Amino acid sequence: MIHREDTERIVITGVGLTAPNGDNLTEYRQALLTGKSGIQPYEIRYFGKTLAGICHFDELKYQSRRELRRGTRAGSIGIYCAHEAILDSEIDWEALSKSQVGVYIGITEHGNVETENEVYQISQYDYDCNYWSHHHNPRTVANNPAGEITLNLKITGPHYTLGAACAAGNAGIIQGVQQLRLHEVDFAIVGGVSESIHTFGIFAAFNAQNALARHDDPARASRPFDLARNGIVVSEGGCLYTLERLRDAKKRNAKIYGEIVGYGMNSDATDFVLPNTERQAQCVQKALAKAGLRPEEIDIVNTHATATKMGDIQEIEALKTIFAQSDKTWINNTKSFIGHAMGAAGALELAGNLPAFEDHIVHPTINVDELDPKCEMPNLVLNQPQKVERVRYILNNSFGMVGINAVVIVGRVDD
């Protein structure tokens, strides 16, 4: 691994999340180890009945009813996760200079939910635009989820959202690392959020692509790598981290979940939807090179696989070119439990694996009754957790539409 000064080493000191199967890391991790899915029946205006991953966090824990009415679901998820991450970090929040706090939030899309709701609202009044909400503009600006966090927590440092499709959670983490290394901020709140289940359009679009999952048992609908997989389960959720320089974390004797030791981002430049195996592999290699690691030093690879026919195959092909000879690199997937949380996916999937640094357990991919032969790969962890000798490095894949790829590598910190 590349050795850096403590001022350049960036570590995770807090985790705040809400997922369809847990509202904090302890609940979430337990669900991943016991095979508990968060997918359930769902019905949405115009589209009708489907399946979705729905979060059940306490919306009123950090916001008033008035604030909820004025803001957005994505903002509410972000506010909840940011507060939880700050509490988990045990930072002296009152003493921290809020001008030195940066907020970098990944999203897949933002504004569709609010626009659909407003169009429906005026449809009840013969499309009279006088009934259009005056809150529409601040709700739909692209910086909204990050901005709502700063308003709620009185943060005066920089904030913005990163539109990086389903690679957005990793992109938010990467941005925070870069800003801390540039000394633009001293404390960063990073990750991703998604309110996607509240727009009927995303269900209709995946359905039109023949890429929306169906199953009689909701808990078995999301089935990456399974021969009978039939598409994506759309989910909402959020996961935000607090990042600090290692020097600062040591100074206050903070709990450290891990160090961001490497990352990579690139573009496919080939198709709107179909992923590019070669570019995905290049992104992984870029992250490994930045970390100064060999493939065989990675203990866990959390896959992006969404349970689409070609997407899963393409990613496995990319991983085979790098890890096929790494006999101690274990491969898993989190979407089989929670569905696809879009902009929150990468951050949530990383969080589910972080406890493996301590318990040395690799959570499985569930719902694999018959492995697709085209998805076969050594050390796939299927249906049951895998106890391993050690976990030193976790590599987290996130790939998105219009060909955006983001990979993050987190290492255990022993010193």
Query: Residue 249: what pLDDT?
Result: 98
Hey, which bits of 344-411 come out as E strands?
A: 361-362, 386-387, 393-400, 404-411
The mean of the pLDDT values for the chain is 97
Of 229, 251, 273, which closes a domain? Answer: 251
What pLDDT does 7 receive? 80
Residues of the chain where predicted confidence (pLDDT) is lower than 50: none
Instruction: Give residue 69's identity as a one-letter amino acid code.
Output: R
Q: What is the pLDDT of residues 114-131, one digit of tens each?
A: 999 999 999 999 999 999
- Give the model's pLDDT for residue 3: 73
**Residue 159 is among the residues annotated as catalytic for this protein:** no
Residue 286: Cβ-neighbour burial (10 angstroms; 0-12, 13-18, 19+): middle
- pLDDT, position 5: 79
Cα–Cα distance between 249 and 111 in angstroms, integer? 36
What is the distance between the alpha carbons of residues 296 and 291, in angstroms, rounded to a whole number? Answer: 13
Please report the pLDDT score of residue 44 as a whole number.
98
pLDDT value at position 370? 98
Is 340 marked active-site?
yes
Q: Does residue 5 fall inside a structural domain?
A: no
Domain range for 377 is 262-411
Residues 195, 86 share a domain: yes
Query: Which pLDDT score is estimated for 103?
Result: 98
Supply the DSSP string of 256-302, one letter for each residue: --EEEEEEEEEE--S-SSS--HHHHHHHHHHHHHHHT--GGG--EEE
Question: Do 182 and 307 fall within a single domain?
Answer: no
pTM, full prediction:
0.97
- Domain presence at residue 257: no
Burial 155-179 (b: 16+ CB within 10 A, else e): bebbbbbbbbbbbbbbbbbbbbbeb
Residue 67: the pLDDT is 97
Same domain, 196 and 293: no
Q: Judge whether 3 lies within some domain.
A: no
- The catalytic position among 198, 340, 363, 375 is 340
Domain count, the chain: 2
- Residues β-bridged to residue 388: none
CATH assignment of the domain containing 241? 3.40.47.10
Helices and strands in the chain: count of H runs, count of E runs? 14, 14
Q: Which of 166, 239, 283, 375 is catalytic?
A: 166
Q: List all residues 6 or more positions away from 378 whose beta carbon is below 8 Å from its beta carbon.
A: 323, 324, 326, 327
CA distance 54 to 202: 15
